Structure 1
Amino acid sequence: MNDVPAQPPYFAHHVFVCGNHRPEGHPRGSCGGKGSEKLRDYMKARAKELGLQGVRINAAGCLDRCEHGPTVVIYPAGRWYRVPDRDAVDRILTEDVQGGRPVAELMLPGEVAPAK
C-alpha cells in the first residue's frame, strides 16, 4: 500500500496530441500523416489566444487510435477526440476545456484497446 497522499493535478487540463507516423499506405493510417503537428501547433496558439489557464498541450507518441486520427486525449477527464481540422480544435477548446461540456460528435467510439 502506498502511503503517499494524492496530489491535485499539476494542470487543470493536459491535452496530448498524437504525432505518430506510420509508413504511407498503412491500413491504420497515422495521425502525423493526417496533419496532427499543424493542428497541435494551432491548438497551442489558440489556447493562448483564448487565455486558457492551467492548460498544457503536448505532443505525444502513438496513442494507438490513429485510424480515427488525428486524435487527442484530455486528462484528467480522459476524453478522447478526433480532430480533423481547426474547427474541431476550436470546439474542443471552447466547449470542453473552457466550457466543461464534452463535444459528443468529435469523441472517439468507446472501443476496447487492442491486446498487445
Structure 2
Amino acid sequence: MTNGYHHHMFICSHERPPDASRECCAAKESLALMKALKFAAKQEGVPGIRVQKSGCLGQCERGISCVVYPEGVWYTLTGEENIPDLLEHLRFGTVAEHLLMEE
C-alpha cells in the first residue's frame, strides 16, 4: 500500500444530455450509488479504501461502470443492491464474479 489505500474504486458519473444518442451512467443514478457505498463503507468501518466518482469510463451502455484498483477489476453495476458485494471486494479483495464486466 504505497498510496495510502488498499483499494481505490472509481464509479462513472458521466452525464450526457437527455437527447444524446449514447447512454450515460449518471442517468442510471451512479452518483447516488457512489454516495450510498461511501456511507456504507464508513458505517461498517472498512479501512484503507477510497471510493470516488470518475469521468466517462467508456462503458456506459453496459450499466453503471466501475473499476477497482490496484487489481484493475471492472464491474457493471445495477444499483444499491450491489453494495454488499462491493464492500466484500473492498474489505477482503473478493471479486464479485457475477458483477464482472463482460469483455
Same fold (TM over 0.5): yes
Q: Find out whether 1:76 has 2:79 as its counterpart.
A: no
**Structure 1 residue 85, shift from structure 2 partner:** 1.4
Partners in 2 of 1:89 and 1:36 — Cα distance? 12
Question: SS at 1:48's partner residue?
Answer: helix
Q: Which runs of 5+ in 1 are unaligned?
A: 1-6, 111-116
Q: For each residue in 1:42-73, what CA deviation from the matched residue of structure 2 results, as whole angstroms up to 9, or x when unmatched?
A: 01001101111110011111111111121111
Q: Which ranges of 4 or more aligned residues in structure 1 deviate by more than 3 Å?
A: 25-28
Question: SS at 1:64's partner residue?
Answer: coil
Q: Cα RMSD between the aligned structures?
A: 1.5
Q: Which residue of 2 aligns with 1:113?
A: none
Partners in 2 of 1:90 and 1:26 — Cα distance? 32
Q: For each residue in 1:9-64, what CA deviation from the matched residue of structure 2 results, as whole angstroms up to 9, or x when unmatched?
A: 33110011100011225443100011001000001001101111110011111111
Task: Name which of 15, 31, 34 aligns with 2:25.
Answer: 31
Task: Name which of 106, 113, 116 aligns with 2:99.
Answer: 106
Higher normalized contact order (CA 8 Å, seq sep 6+, divided by chain length): 2
TM-score by length of 2: 0.90
Greater share of strand residues, 1 or 2? 2
Q: Find out whether 1:40 has 2:34 as its counterpart.
A: yes
- Is 1:83–1:89's contact at 8 Å kept on the other side of the alignment? no
Task: Name which of 6, 24, 34 aligns with 1:12.
Answer: 6
Q: Which runs of 5+ in 2 are unaligned?
A: none
State the aligned residue count: 103
